Amino acid sequence: MSLKIFDLTGKTAMITGSTKGLGKVAAVALAKAGANIAVCGRNRENLEKVSKSIKDLGRDSAGFFLDVTSKQSVQAGVEQILKHFGKVDILVNNAGVNHRVPVLEFTEEAWDSVIDTNLKGYFLVAQAVVPQMIEHGYGKVINISSIFGLTPLPDQLAYSSWYVDEITTLVKVQIP
* Distance from C-alpha of 34 to C-alpha of 93, rounded to nearest angstrom: 19
What span, in angstroms and rounded, lies between the C-alpha atoms of 66 and 80? 10
- Coil, strand, or helix at residue 75? helix
Angle at 59 between CA 56 and CA 65, to 5 degrees: 90
Write the DSSP symbol of residue 4: G
CB contact set of 62 (below 8 Å; sequence gap of 6+): 38, 39, 51, 81, 84, 85
* Residue 159 annotated as catalytic: yes
- Cβ within 8 Å of residue 58, ≥6 positions away: none
The values of phi and psi at residue 155, to 5°, are 65, 25
Residues marked as catalytic:
159
